[in-house]
Structures are given as C-alpha cells and as structure tokens.
C-alpha cells in the first residue's frame, strides 16, 4: 500500500499551489493528474492558446446543452487537462475581483473569507513586477505577474474610445479600486506563459517531496467509517486500478466540473441522482454539483481598415515566421500576448458602489469570433462580461463511468438581471465603436450586425446570439455553514460530514468574484494550505 501525507487530485491552479506549500512544510505529497505532462510547446507560447484550446489531449471539451436563452445554440466549454490545469490553457489575464465579492462570502457565514483576511494570500501568491502599492501587491510570491508591456495603436484607440464614454484610466485594477480602463496584467513572464505548474509544481518537484503522476484518472475517493483514506486511480480508459492513501488527508482539486463529478461517483451527492445511477449513497449532500455559475461574454468582431495594425496582419504569411523568431529569441513578439490587451471595468450607473461589467479588447480576431485560426482580414474582438451573474445551473454525472463527461448546464441568461447587465455592457461597447477614436478604423461588424441594434430587445437578441463562455465555471461544491443544506464544504474547505476530505478549487466559491478566476483560485490554495498546516500542527 502506498501512503503519502497528502494525496492531491488534479494538478490545476489550486492543486499545484497546495502541492508546493504542503511539501515546502516537509510533507510528502502525491499529485494525481488525469492529463499528460505539460510538454506541448504551445502551452508556453502565449498565442499557442489558439492550438491548445482545441486539443483534446490537454483539454476537457464539454458542450453546454442548448437553451432558448442562448437562441438554442450549443456552447462549447473547456477546461485544462495537463499539469497546470486550466492555467496551462487560459487567457493569462490576472484579475482578482473586488472587496465586496469576498466580503459577501464572509457575510454568508464563511469566517476568514472577507477581503481583508484574503489580501495577505493574494499578496503571498504573486510577485508583481510592474509597480503598484505594496499594501495591495505582493513582491515575493511564486507567480510572476506584470502589466502587459505590449502597446499598439488599436488598443490605444479602444482606451481613448472608452475614455470618451466616461471611463477613466486606472493604474492598477488589482489595487485599492478596480474601476477604470487599462492594459491588462498577466501571468506572462519573459514572453512565456507562467501556469501554476511553472509557478508552483515544477519548483516543488525540484526542491521538495512531491510525487507527480500524470495520466492518472482518479475514479473514486475511498471512504472508510466516515473518513477519506485515499483514492483509486487508473490510466485514461484503463481498468488496472491503483490505490494511494493520504495519511493526513485527501484533497480534491479537480476543478468546478470534475470535483463534484468525483464526489458524486464516490457516493457523496444528491440522493436521487445517485440512486438512479446505482451508486451506493455514502452521505447525502444535495449541493454537490448544484449552484454552477459561469461568466459569459457577448462578443463583437469587427473588420478594420487595412494597415490598421491588427494582429491578424502582423502574423500573416511570412510575418508569422518573423514573430516566431522574435519569440524564440526572447524579443517582444505578437506571439507573447494574452487573450486580451485591454480591460475596462465599468458600472451600470455612476452612483453604483461597485463595477458590474467588464469590457475586454484584443486587436485581433479569430475566424467566426471563436474559431481555430485568425481571420484573413484585419480584425479586432471585444467582449462584454457581466461580473456577478445570478443564473445558476448544475453538473451531474450521467453514468457510473469516470470516463463519461458530466452533464454541464450553467443555464446562461436565465436570471433577468443577467440579461439586463449584458445589454448594458453591449450598448457600452457599441458606443465605444462609435467613438471618435475607434470609429474611423471600423469597416463592418462580422460576427453579427451590432450597428443595426436599436432597442433593448434587439441588443438582448444580439447577446443571446453571440455570447460564449468566458471559461469561469465555479460554485458546484460551495462553501457554507452546515445549516445550509446546499453547502458542500465548510469555511476550512473540509467536506461536511466526511473526515479527512477537502475540496480546494473554483468549485468552493459560493459566487463569482468580479474577475477572471485564476488569481482567486491560487489565493484559495495559499489560504487553504495555511489552514491545513495549522490543523496538522494542532493534531
């Protein structure tokens, strides 16, 4: 029997951070990751997302079942499947969210999750290299973060257009206040993607006692007398099962879709679902898989005047080789850009206390706005994302077989407030496209005719027709008090009713932070590692 101090399931944003901190403290750690090693060269190259996102070897490819709210379109939703998890294939924008996001978590009974208590863990995770205020920014963490160095005339015009509509500039949206427009901060360092594997896991393997096993699909959590003692795993599609035990605990970090799936497969979940699938109930936990929330973004793609400086032109034909050479030799390159160059954090009404939507911009465009290659014409893309959607859905297993993908249904746009904020955001984008700064560059809207929308209903239909996921599923093992039947973990991220078992990843967030998730997930890993080490010392 193989035994480690801790078994961690999933080497994603959270799993890698935990592996580092627990092994740094002297513990033996076994990390089991369903995907392969992160040796695909497109992972390190920031623009490689165009390739990695469609590669089923390193991504889980889900499809959200169509609903009338999104004009009956199927919507693809992917997450990462390699060392680094989703941080190995994400858009690399670093964005924490705002104070009230976390204060809300604490107000729901989760002691220690208010912004003031979490700030030290945000700071602990990051090494911010672009100035900012020491009160908010970390200097010594494992994750290098910097303001995108790239500047280009189209992004500058988008910023100027946003200013024309009343958005002010901000120096640091991860500082005291988020509101404003700015080039983005990224997890790109020296032109390379810095996934959580590069920031945490690979250094931990070099320095500490971490045993990383890839192509190791965990099938079941082993629970004996109410205590999680280990897990069973096998190669993808394989049946030769191996077991590892965690002396001090089993930590599930498989992400917001796979963590509830694994709990359900292990007999922890809604009783009726498990009964229908013939899975013996270990403990009824109706919240496992429920409360799924995701950020969607309404997309605008525009064809620009020739010679405007779009990335599409900058990497077309022989220029791609030139940019590749620049990237390989460590010089500034269009291949080293994040998925967006500019973010604008906005309020629906000036008197609102908090920002409630984010506008994102990239001076380049993918075919059909979501495709696998760049448009042949000079293009730009923008996205409007509601920060705190209220629509909720679920993740449910469809069989006992771990190799079957779970059903994922976020129920996009079912909440009326979500429709409203998306309409406000897209109208704002339309205004920026009409601004004196940006309008002269625009030839036509290619994804859908944004300029033909006049009424709110027409804008809402535009939203329904063009929205896609921003890849931020969360909430499916939400943190909360034991008195809340839908809460799956407590505020120390221990699964209610099972000893020795924690879930630590995006699934524990009860609601969306007003930002992309990677920063918050890494913060959660830092905070939970500290709580686990405290618990071990108290034993």
Ligand X SMILES: Cc1cc2nc3c(=O)[nH]c(=O)nc-3n(C[C@H](O)[C@H](O)[C@H](O)COP(=O)(O)OP(=O)(O)OC[C@H]3O[C@@H](n4cnc5c(N)ncnc54)[C@H](O)[C@@H]3O)c2cc1C
Which residue ranges make up the site for ligand X (CB under 6 A)? 9-14, 32-35, 53, 78-81, 85-87, 89-93, 95, 216-218, 253-256, 258, 262, 339, 471-472, 505-506, 516-519, 521
If the CB atoms of residues 453 and 521 are measured against ligand X, the closer one turns out to be 521
If the CB atoms of residues 450 and 487 are measured against ligand X, the closer one turns out to be 487
Shortest Å, Cβ 217 to ligand X: 5
Shortest Å, Cβ 345 to ligand X: 14
Choosing from 69, 202, 295, 472, the catalytic residue is 472
Could you tell me whether strands 442-445 and 296-304 are parallel, antiparallel, or unpaired per DSSP bridges? antiparallel
If the CB atoms of residues 34 and 159 are measured against ligand X, the closer one turns out to be 34
If the CB atoms of residues 158 and 233 are measured against ligand X, the closer one turns out to be 233
Shortest Å, Cβ 356 to ligand X: 18
* Residue 405 DSSP label: P
Give the end-to-end CA distance of the chain in Å, rounded to a whole number: 24
Interior/surface letters 309-325, b for 16+ CB within 10 angstroms, e for the rest: bbbbbbbeeeeeeebbe
For 164, the enclosing helix (H) or strand (E) is: helix 153-164
If the CB atoms of residues 87 and 293 are measured against ligand X, the closer one turns out to be 87
Q: How many CA atoms lie within 13 A of 66 on its CB side?
A: 7
If the CB atoms of residues 48 and 309 are measured against ligand X, the closer one turns out to be 48
* Residue 293 DSSP label: B
Shortest Å, Cβ 409 to ligand X: 18
Catalytic annotation present for 472: yes
Pinpoint the alpha helices (H) of 68-180: 99-107, 115-125, 153-164
Shortest Å, Cβ 101 to ligand X: 14
Shortest Å, Cβ 135 to ligand X: 22
Token pair recorded at residue 161: 């257009």
For 62, 296, 392, the CA distances from 512, given in Å and listed in that order, are: 20, 12, 11
Distance CA 41, CA 44 (A): 6
Token pair recorded at residue 293: 């929330």
* Residues counted in the chain: 539
Distance CA 8, CA 504 (A): 10
If the CB atoms of residues 89 and 432 are measured against ligand X, the closer one turns out to be 89
Distance, CA of 54 to chain centre? 17
Shortest Å, Cβ 413 to ligand X: 20
* Residue 199 DSSP label: I
Shortest Å, Cβ 80 to ligand X: 5
Task: State the residue number with the nearest CB to ligand X.
Answer: 12
- For residue 458, count other CB atoms closer than 10 A to its CB: 14
For 342, the enclosing helix (H) or strand (E) is: strand 342-346
- For residue 164, count other CB atoms closer than 10 A to its CB: 15
Beta strands in 370-496 (DSSP E): 379-386, 393-396, 407-409, 442-445, 468-469
If the CB atoms of residues 231 and 301 are measured against ligand X, the closer one turns out to be 231
C-alpha Rg value of the chain to the nearest Å:
22
The catalytic site residues sit at: 472
């Amino acid at each position: 029997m193989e035994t480690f101090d801790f078994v961690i399931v999933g080497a994603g944003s959270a799993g890698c951070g935990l592996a580092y901190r627990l092994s740094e403290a002297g513990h033996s750690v076994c990390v089991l990751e369903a995907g392969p090693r992160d040796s695909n060269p497109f992972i390190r190259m920031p623009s490689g997302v165009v390739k990695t996102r469609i590669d089923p070897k390193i991504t889980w490819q889900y499809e959200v079942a169509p609903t009338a709210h999104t004009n009956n379109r199927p919507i693809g939703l992917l997450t990462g499947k390699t060392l680094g998890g989703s941080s190995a294939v994400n858009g690399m924008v670093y964005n924490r969210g705002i104070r009230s996001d976390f204060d809300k978590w604490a107000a729901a009974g989760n002691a220690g999750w208010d912004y003031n208590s979490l700030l030290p863990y945000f700071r602990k995770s990051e090494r911010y290299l672009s100035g900012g205020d020491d009160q908010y920014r970390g200097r010594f963490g494992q994750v290098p973060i910097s303001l995108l160095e790239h500047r280009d005339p189209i992004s500058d015009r988008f910023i100027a257009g946003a200013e024309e509509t009343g958005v002010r500039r901000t120096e640091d949206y991860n500082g005291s206040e988020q509101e404003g427009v700015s080039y983005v901060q990224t997890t790109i360092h020296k032109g390379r993607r810095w996934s959580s594997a590069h920031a945490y896991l690979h250094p931990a393997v070099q320095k500490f006692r971490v045993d990383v096993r890839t192509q190791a699909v965990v099938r079941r959590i082993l629970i004996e007398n109410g205590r999680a003692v280990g897990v069973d795993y096998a190669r993808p599609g394989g049946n030769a099962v191996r077991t590892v035990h965690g002396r001090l605990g089993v930590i599930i970090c498989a992400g917001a879709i796979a963590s509830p799936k694994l709990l359900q497969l292990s007999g922890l979940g809604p009783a009726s679902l498990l009964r229908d699938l013939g899975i013996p109930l270990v403990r009824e936990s109706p919240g496992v898989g429920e409360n799924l929330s995701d950020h969607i973004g309404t997309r605008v793609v525009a064809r620009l005047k020739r010679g405007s400086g779009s990335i599409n032109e900058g990497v077309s034909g022989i220029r791609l080789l030139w940019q590749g050479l620049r990237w390989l030799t460590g010089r500034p390159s269009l291949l080293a850009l994040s998925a967006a160059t500019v973010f604008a954090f906005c309020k629906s009404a000036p008197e609102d206390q908090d920002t409630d939507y984010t506008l994102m911009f990239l001076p380049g465009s993918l075919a059909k706005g979501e495709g696998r290659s760049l448009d042949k014409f000079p293009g730009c893309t923008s996205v409007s994302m509601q920060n705190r959607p209220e629509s909720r859905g679920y993740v449910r297993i469809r069989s006992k077989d771990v190799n079957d993908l779970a059903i994922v249904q976020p129920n996009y746009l079912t909440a009326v407030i979500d429709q409203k904020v998306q309409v406000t955001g897209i109208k704002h984008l339309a205004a920026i496209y009409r601004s004196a700064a940006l309008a002269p560059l625009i030839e036509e809207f290619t994804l859908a005719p944004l300029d033909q929308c006049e009424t709110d209903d027409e804008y809402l239909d535009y939203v329904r027709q063009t929205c896609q996921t921003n890849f931020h599923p969360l909430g499916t093992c939400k943190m909360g008090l034991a008195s809340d039947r839908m809460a799956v973990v407590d505020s120390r991220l221990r699964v209610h009713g099972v000893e020795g078992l924690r879930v630590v990843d995006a699934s524990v967030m009860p609601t969306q932070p007003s930002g992309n998730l990677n920063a918050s997930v890494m913060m959660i890993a830092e905070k939970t590692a500290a709580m686990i080490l405290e618990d071990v010392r108290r034993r």
